[in-house]
């Protein structure tokens, strides 16, 4: 009887212990899940605004997709140089912001949103030098804006630990202005690689430049296709989605492990300069207000 009684009482006690352990495990998981949920931050869609200082860390390297020969004029050589650039305020009356990237979706961290670059206004720190076959050279200033024909888009993954990764495919438009007389030529990399060169009123219609099929990257970098215009009227063919898959390459800007934090009034803030770069381009952008802070520190 003693042995039987012991067995009858032992089984319920053991079952009770197992039940309590299970309850404790579920409770612990609930607390852990609740703690992890509390770490998530809501970030509303919106704009990230930046200023590009003249520190030489932002540049475009035309070696990836050279400006073709004869673009600047008959006999001009391919341009493959590096062009350091700085920001020009989009609206000086409001701020010194020259670059705007829009986060398209709300995010609970960790989470991902698509990006659209909606503002870009840069200029060369110094004029570039264009050379000609047989000798001679010219100085040209360069402006960099967004393509008129193709959107610059990408994505951003924002982590709970205060860092984010981003990738942005930028289609820039380059406006070249000759220092000597103000002649301008425009290269829009998003327009199926088409380049519209804007001539002065005194110049006549120039020849359309249509290089042959692009060589593979292992042979040589492919020049952008170029189409000239007469005065200010574009004579190039219309842009199509099919043609947009060829021509100049975009600038693929990537950033890994960049910091973010909560702004004073709430929201998403990047507390220090963010560098997005690839092998042949770099955009070292600082938060809004950086230039004024630098000016105040210098005074």
Q: Which two tokens stand for residue 168?
A: 């942005």
Closest to 101 (Cα-Cα) out of 164, 149, 42? 164
Most confident of 14-18, 63-67, 269-273: 269-273
Q: Which two tokens stand for residue 52?
A: 């590009």
H or E element that contains 145 = strand 137-146
Q: How confident is the model at residue 250 (pLDDT cuts 50, 70, 90)?
A: confident
Distances (CA, A) of 281 to 25, 104, 132, 170, 260: 53, 25, 25, 11, 23
Q: How confident is the model at residue 293 (pLDDT cuts 50, 70, 90)?
A: confident
Q: Which two tokens stand for residue 162?
A: 């205060």
Strands 99-103 vs 46-51: parallel, antiparallel or unpaired: antiparallel
- Residue 82: the pLDDT is 96
- Residue 91: the pLDDT is 94
Distance CA 82, CA 85 (A): 10
Give tens-digit pLDDT for 202-248: 332 232 333 333 333 334 455 565 543 333 333 333 333 333 334 57
- Residue 198: the pLDDT is 43
Give tens-digit pLDDT for 145-196: 999 989 999 999 999 989 999 999 999 999 999 999 999 999 998 874 444 4
Least-confidence region, from 36-40, 50-54, 124-128, 265-269: 36-40
Q: Under a CB-based contact definition with an 8 Å cutoff, are residues 156 and 103 in contact?
A: yes
Distance CA 110, CA 41 (A): 8
- Residue 223: the pLDDT is 59
How many residues belong to the chain? 299
Q: How confident is the model at residue 140 (pLDDT cuts 50, 70, 90)?
A: very high
- Residue 76: the pLDDT is 96
**Mean pLDDT of all residues in the chain?**
77
The 3-state DSSP class for residue 69 equals coil
Q: C-alpha dihedral over 288, 291, 295, 296, to 10 degrees?
A: 10
Using only C-alpha atoms, the chain has a radius of gyration, in whole angstroms, of 29
The 3-state DSSP class for residue 177 equals strand
Beta bridge partners of 51: 286
The pTM assigned to this predicted structure is 0.74
Residue in the block written with tokens 């802070």:
293
Map out the domains of the chain as residue ranges. Answer: 1-39, 43-298
Average pLDDT over residues 43-66: 93
Give tens-digit pLDDT for 211-220: 333 333 334 4
Does position 47 have pLDDT exceeding 90, yes or no? yes
Q: Under a CB-based contact definition with an 8 Å cutoff, are residues 64 and 277 in contact?
A: no
Q: Is the peptide bond before 110 cis (omega within 30 degrees of 0)?
A: yes
Residue in the block written with tokens 């909560």:
262
């Amino acid at each position: 009887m003693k042995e039987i009684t012991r067995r009858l009482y032992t089984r319920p006690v053991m079952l009770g212990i197992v039940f309590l352990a299970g309850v404790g495990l579920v409770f612990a998981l609930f607390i852990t899940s609740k703690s992890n949920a509390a770490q998530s931050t809501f970030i509303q869609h919106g704009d990230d605004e930046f200023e590009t200082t003249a520190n030489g860390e932002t540049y475009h390297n035309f070696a990836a997709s050279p400006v073709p020969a004869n673009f600047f004029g008959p006999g001009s050589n391919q341009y493959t140089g590096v062009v350091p650039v700085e920001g020009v305020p989009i609206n000086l009356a409001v701020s010194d912001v020259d670059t705007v990237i829009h986060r398209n979706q709300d995010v609970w961290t960790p989470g991902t949103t698509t990006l659209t670059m909606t503002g870009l206004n840069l200029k060369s720190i110094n004029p570039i030098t264009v050379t000609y076959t047989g000798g001679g050279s010219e100085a040209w200033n360069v402006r960099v804006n967004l393509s008129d024909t193709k959107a610059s888009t990408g994505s951003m993954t924002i982590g709970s630990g205060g860092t984010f990764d981003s990738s942005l495919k930028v289609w820039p438009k380059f406006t070249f202005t000759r220092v000597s007389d103000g002649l301008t030529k425009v290269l829009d990399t998003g327009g199926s690689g088409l380049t519209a060169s804007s001539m002065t009123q005194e110049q006549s219609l120039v020849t359309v430049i249509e290089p042959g099929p692009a060589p593979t990257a292992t042979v040589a970098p492919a020049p952008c296709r170029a189409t000239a215009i007469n005065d200010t009227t574009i004579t190039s063919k219309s842009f199509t989605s099919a043609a947009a898959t060829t021509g100049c390459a975009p600038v693929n800007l990537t950033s890994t492990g960049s910091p973010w934090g909560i702004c004073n009034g709430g929201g998403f803030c990047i507390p220090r300069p963010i560098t997005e770069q690839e092998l042949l381009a770099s955009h070292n952008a600082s938060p809004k207000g950086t230039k004024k802070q630098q000016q105040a520190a210098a005074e």
